[in-house]
Amino acid sequence: MKRTMILLASLVMGALSFVSGAVLLAQDPSPGAAVNIGSNRELLVDQYLIGSLDGVTQKLWPPRDEGPVFLLDRPWEGGFCAYLTVIHDGGKYRLYYRGGPAAGKNTPSVGRACYAESDDGIHWTRPDIGAFRWEGIEETNVLFDFDDDPLLSHNFAPFVDTNPNCPPEQRYKALTGYYPKGLTAFVSSDGVHWKKLREEPVIQHANYMLDSQNVAFWSESEGKYVCYLRGADGYRTVIRIESDDFIHWGPEGGVFMTYGDTPREEIYINQTAPYFRAPQIYLATAARFMSGKRVVTPQQAAECLVNPGYDGDCSDAVLMTTRGGNVYDRTFMEALIRPGLDPGDWISRTNYPVRGIVQTGPDEMSMYVERFYAQPHVRIHRCSWKLDRIASVSAPYAGGEFRTKPLIFSGEDLFINANTSAPGTIQIEILDKNGQPISGYELDKSPVLTGNWIEKKVRWAEDKSAGSLAGQEVILRFVMKDADIYALRFGAEE
């Protein structure tokens, strides 16, 4: 009954938010207006730069599963560990997660925020925090001792605050809590030793379900804190609120995120975060929940030792993006991470992504995913991409082309992240805002590029750079054969 009342409240308040004009506008240029990208790196993960596609398609590149890197096998961890975050900061990788050895609510076995760390993102250790003893075990990696309120830290979701005005003692921030109490703000100087920013919750409203991972960060492009919360509007969905000081949040009741002209799906945890190499793009490696869709048989579930009641659903991970405002771009409806071959990977709430994408090598980055939820062998897998290669515009062997929207850039040179097959090619022509070739940047002045580059500097005939066109409205025309382009930027070499 309580959940029904919450859902009704969410629907009503969501409708009021839209009616009252509280809807936030997406950060997207007006139709016909030029996109000012400055010297930002731009990933081709959405429609932001796409003007037209001819014989080419936008393609999602699921990461490669590198296998398990962290077994959640301590007595205070177990099959119901959840709500994970990974941070790479100061040469250290930090992993935060809920320890959960048993199902249930408001019991001492649920709601322990835990911490692990690594020097490479692959090999992890559990430091003794000294804050909590578990059934006689003195050395644990549990961050807090809240025996009087065990759910207070069950969805602890930290981030590094990049606000230039952030005091050093608050460089790490986090939100955690539950309905109806609300979300409490925590701060830390080192990411290990935490204290409440204030005793009272900073976020509290009937719209906010809060029984999930509720994620916040400082937005460099918007100049404010933003938070993406668990909500409901007939579906499990996401609500956005914002703040100037991490204490006072609004608008009241939040604004429900929209998903464009795409089929509605259940989004359980959204994991929205600024991409570390292009923070103006917020990537949401979200959990897609298929409620009531049973894949495994009761016998398979029993063989996997699945906790009773967790074999009747399945889930995977999807990619959504946003650049501020209340719109998620869902260019790709396909799964970012599919369940694996093991029947235990087709269990309710498994395949939930860890929040965060981090660099794990000179040309490699990783995300993490929890496998085998509600089972004794629950674990974290690492999944990898080459840098920036999450999605692309891709041409077949027969060839094709795409044009950007009119854009304005700053900087001297164009750099692309791209690859081709051996016979594949890429050529780039620069057009004026009316679509006419600009002298010196015609297609026949472009080099014919064949190769594989994380960042390739492009120059035209006679070593001509793009710098003379900086500040003007231009259109990039990519003529391609058996090739993929993942990202581009203008500027200087890094």
What are the chain's domains? 64-386 (2.115.10.20), 396-491 (2.60.290)
The pLDDT-based confidence of 474 (bands split at 50, 70, 90) is: very high
87: exposed, middle or buried (Cβ count in 10 Å: 0-12, 13-18, 19+)? buried
CA distances from 470 to 277, 410, 453 (A): 22, 5, 24
What pLDDT was estimated at residue 23?
A: 44
What confidence tens digit (pLDDT) does each residue in 103-125 have? 765 454 566 899 999 999 999 99
Inform me whether the pLDDT recorded for 442 exceeds 60: yes
Report DSSP state, residue 334. S
- Reported as type and span, the H/E element at residue 299 is helix 298-303
CA distance 483 to 452: 10
Which of these, 358, 211, 194, 378, lies nearest to 285 by C-alpha position? 358
Contact 355, 407 (CB under 8 A): no
What pLDDT was estimated at residue 5?
A: 39
Contact 87, 117 (CB under 8 A): no
Report DSSP state, residue 47. S
Inform me whether the pLDDT recorded for 231 exceeds 60: yes
- How many CA atoms within 13 Å lie on the side-chain side of 408? 9
Which residues are CB-contacts of 21 (< 8 A; sequence separation ≥ 6)? none
Inform me whether the pLDDT recorded for 26 exceeds 70: no
Phi, psi of 481 (to 5 degrees): -140, 125
Q: What is the mean pLDDT of residues 176-205?
A: 95
Phi, psi of 169 (to 5 degrees): -70, -10
Place of tokens 């710098």: 467
Kindly state the percentage of the chain with pLDDT values over 90.
Answer: 84
User: Can you say whether the dihedral through the CA atoms of 149, 150, 151, 155 is positive or negative?
Assistant: positive
What confidence tens digit (pLDDT) does each residue in 232-291 have? 999 999 999 999 999 999 999 999 999 999 999 999 999 999 999 999 999 999 999 999
> 137-141: long-range contacts at Cβ-Cβ below 8 A with a sequence spacing of 24 or more?
137/75, 137/76, 140/74, 140/76, 140/114, 141/74, 141/114, 141/115, 141/116
What confidence tens digit (pLDDT) does each residue in 44-102 have? 999 999 999 999 999 999 999 999 999 999 999 999 999 999 999 999 999 999 998 88
Report DSSP state, residue 30. P
CA distances from 457 to 56, 311, 387, 465, 488 (A): 23, 51, 16, 9, 10
Q: What is the mean pLDDT of residues 159-176?
A: 98
Work out the number of other CB atoms within 10 angstroms of the CB of residue 312.
16
Inform me whether the pLDDT recorded for 11 exceeds 50: no
What pLDDT was estimated at residue 57?
A: 98
What confidence tens digit (pLDDT) does each residue in 355-394 have? 999 999 999 999 999 999 999 999 999 999 999 999 999 9
CA distance 276 to 279: 6
What pLDDT was estimated at residue 491?
A: 96
What pLDDT was estimated at residue 100?
A: 87
When the pLDDT of each residue in the chain is averaged and rounded to a whole number, the result is 92
Inform me whether the pLDDT recorded for 24 exceeds 80: no
Phi, psi of 7 (to 5 degrees): -60, -45
Contact 294, 311 (CB under 8 A): yes
Q: What is the pTM of this model?
A: 0.92
What confidence tens digit (pLDDT) does each residue in 320-352 have? 999 999 999 999 999 999 999 999 999 999 999
Between residues 71 and 153, the one the model is more confident about: 71
CA distances from 375 to 115, 372, 379 (A): 21, 6, 9
Q: What is the mean pLDDT of residues 450-474?
A: 98
Task: Say which range, 15-24, 118-127, 414-423, has the weakest mean pLDDT.
Answer: 15-24
Task: Say which range, 92-106, 125-139, 168-182, 460-474, has the weakest mean pLDDT.
Answer: 92-106
Kindly state the percentage of the chain with pLDDT values over 70.
Answer: 92
What pLDDT was estimated at residue 349?
A: 94
What pLDDT was estimated at residue 146?
A: 80
In 246-390 the beta strands, taken as DSSP E runs, fall at 249-256, 266-267, 272-275, 278-290, 314-322, 352-353, 358-361, 364-371, 379-386
